[in-house]
Structures are given as C-alpha cells and as structure tokens.
Amino acid sequence: MRLRPHPPSVWSIGRRFVKSSRHRRFWGGDEAAGDRTRGGIKHHQPFRPTANHPQDQAVTDHQNLINARTSRQRHGNRAKIVGSDAGSRGLCGDFAGLGVQTPPKQSQSANQQDTHKCHQGLDRFHRFRFNPKQTNDEKTAALTNDADTILRPEAVGAEEAGTRLDKWLSARLPDLSRTRIKGLIDDGRVSAAEVTITDASARVKPGQNFVIAIPPDRPADPLPQAMDLTVVYEDDDLIVIDKPAGLVVHPAPGSPDHTLVNALLAHCGDSLSGIGGVKRPGIVHRIDKDTSGLLVVAKNDRAHHGLAEQFASHSLERLYRALVWGVPTPPQGTIEGNIGRSPQDRKKMAIVSHGGKPALTRYRLLRPLAGGTVSLVECRLATGRTHQIRVHMTSIGHPLVGDQTYGRSRSAKLRHLSDSARHALSSFPRQALHAATLGFNHPVSGAILRFESNLPNDFNWLISILEAV
C-alpha cells in the first residue's frame, strides 16, 4: 500500500510566508523598510505591520496575491488564511492574518477586480517611489490631500539632536500646541525622507527634514440664536458691538454655540461675510471671552477686505483700560517683545526669544488705587496678538487683576486693606480688561469712525470700593 505524503498544513504555509517576508525586510529586500532604516527613525521595528505606511501597502498587496495564487495551485481551495482587517484595508491577498476558514466561491470577474485593484496600488507605489523626475512636492502630494496645509520647518540642527520629535516640532511650530502635534503624528501626518512617522517620542537627528500635513478644519455651520446685543453702530457694510464679559466671539471646542457669531447670524441673517470661515462669518478680529468692549464685524466681503487691510497695517486705534497690580514705573512706556506659546506651558502665551510674532503695547498710568495696591492703566495696541496686554503687563511685573492665567497671588499686599476691598479683589471673576475705544476708516466710504465704550458695571463697582480705601 502506497502512502500519500500529508500536504503541508495551513500553519506551515503561513510560517513560511511570514519567515520569508521577515527575511526580506530585515536584510533590506524591502525598499521602504530600508529607507526607514536610513532615515534614522530610532524606534522603528521592522517586524511590525506596515499599515501606517501607504507606500508599502501596494507591495504587500501584490506579494499577498502572488502567495495566494501559489497556495491555490499547490493545495486547491480547501482553506485559506484571512486577516480580521483584510476587508477594511482593501487587501487582495489570502495571507492577511492567521485565521482559517473555508473560502466562498468567487466568480472570475471578482478575481479580475481584485487583481486590478492590486495592480493599481502597485502602479501608484511605483509612481511615488521610482519616478526620478518627480519633485519632493509631488511626492508629498501623492500621500496627502490636496486641501492639506503642508509645513516644512528648517532641518534639525546639530545642537537639537536627540530631542523628542513632538517637542522639537512644537518649538519650530509655535502656532501648534504640543497636543495638536501629537495628534498629527498619531494620525500619520508627519513624515521624514518620504516615510510616515507615528512615534511622537522618536529622537530627531541632525539634518533631518520633516513634512507636516495639516488637514483642513471641518466645522459645522453655526445656527442663528437670538440674544440681546448692544449695537453701537450698524450700516449695510459693518456692525460695531459692545461685547459683555463672558461671551465667546465664535464657536470653538468647549463653546459650540451661544456665541457672538450665533447672535449675529440671528441679528444680520445671511448678510454676514463668509471670509472668516464657516465658524467665523464676518469676524475680522476678536477679544477674549472674559474681556469686555468694542468689536467690529464685517457684513460683506468688501468691508471684510478693507477692515482686514487696516488690521494688517496696524492703522486702527485700539485703546483698552485695565486694572493691574501695583504701580507701573515709569508711569508710561512701551513694551515690546515677540509673543508665542510658552515653552513651559503650551496653553499660555509668553514673550519668547525665538519665533513668535512681533508685538508692541504702549501703556499709561491713569491713577493708583488703594494706596498703590492696584492701578488703573490705559493700553494702546500697535499690534494685536493673542493675550497681548495680559502677557506684556505681566512681563513688567504688573499682571491684570483677576487674571487666573497670568496673574499671581497678591495676598501680602492685601493685608492692609479693608475686608470689603480684600474680598472684592480676591473674588473678581475675570481679568479686569475693557476695550474702551475703537477707531478706523470706513472700509467702503472712507469716513473716519471712532467709538467709545464706558467701563462696565463690575469694573466700576471694583473701582468704587478701591477708591474708598
């Protein structure tokens, strides 16, 4: 009796496939894996799945298809190896995982479609990888969306070698928080030498160049919501609002509705300019949630362009009144320094020595209060950076009263005050800052417009208590 040799098991087939695949990748047979090794990504593991690398997927799909065909020729259609995510990733091959199941019958047209998909992916890989005439911008575009914003910071310096990737990028891109950068890395939006990097803790090396692809925002349309507004001036082109403290200007994370934009949509209808974006129709500038005062909003594109040009050239008049701790010395002066995200706390702004945006504030002492414990000052903005007055006044040792972000405890200076004054200062619920004057040229008629706003009730109440000390 002649015994037929037992056919190799599915497990042995899978082991042979995995072993040969690992051998090719470890010794450089996989071109993409070799590039990652040469690219200097410290924590890359060659045996990990490469689903995060779009340029590798076409080669993997093609190899899977070849092995699947070989398996069917040798052993028929008794069993096949399938991956749990084969369908979601669009894999064509049979060896995408290690589960065993009886394959359903597939028509010839379906097989042809699978083969066509794999050939398309392989063609795309070759166009991306092996076209010597393709520029870096074209290669980047092959793996990104046309709507993405592409950032290319300068190469890593020798003194920066060994820094974490997310920390290095946050220093080079001050407009992005470290949390935002980590999210971009996790989403496969950061690459070096055409290789996607998904490890935020990877250490950078001298001379490395990184490309960051920032996807466009996909905001929801804000809905009109009727609210009481203090309208100082309005015509067919613009509207000037006296914003109360506590009102957010436009929808943002944590404040999706009940903002000034929602109120303006109810007040103005569809006439608001759309240049500011879906979530910011008509908004030319903004003031912080807990800052009160004057704000101008464009109602059409022409007005929006005209106002934006005046803000860009710093030709507007913007005057704020603030209560600060202590008495500034000298009584008037100029504070100048680039403002960017704080290296110590990415949620705060600070005067930075590298990067940031130029900022200039002129201040003037109006009068000291409570024996010099607090002073009423006037601040004129030559530029309009985020938290500019709060950051600049803090930098000279006179933070704003009630500022929980930049203010410091003044318990020592409160001891000589009355109980009512001490309680009023320590419990003031917001930064004591008010946009008191706004002047500009009408963007359509050219007429000079200047508006003033009186101090709000909470501001006057605090001043009256301090004047009584």
List the catalytic residues: 288
Judge contact between 63 and 91, C-beta under 8 A: no
Judge contact between 342 and 177, C-beta under 8 A: no
Q: Of 126, 123, 14, 6, whose CA–CA distance to 67 is shortest? A: 14
C-beta neighbour count of 118 within 10 angstroms: 22
Judge contact between 55 and 32, C-beta under 8 A: yes
Strands 433-441 and 292-298: parallel
* CA distance linking residue 401 with residue 420, whole number of Å: 16
Break the chain down into helix, strand, coil percent, rounded to 5: 35, 20, 45
Residue with tokens 């082109």: 237
Residue 325, strand partner residues: 374
Q: Of 363, 370, 378, whose CA–CA distance to 424 is shortest? A: 370
Residues in the chain: 469
Residue 297, strand partner residues: 239, 283
For residue 176, the SS3 value is coil
For residue 263, the SS3 value is helix
Q: Which amino acid is it at 395?
A: S
* CA distance linking residue 45 with residue 37, whole number of Å: 9
Q: Of 286, 316, 314, 282, whose CA–CA distance to 301 is shortest? A: 282
**CA angle 453–454–455, rounded 5-degree value:** 120
Element (H, E) at 117: helix 108-129
Judge contact between 468 and 416, C-beta under 8 A: no
* CA distance linking residue 289 with residue 430, whole number of Å: 9
- The answer to whether the Cα torsion of 223, 228, 230, 233 is positive or negative is positive
DSSP state of 437: E
Phi, psi of 40 (to 5 degrees): 85, 25
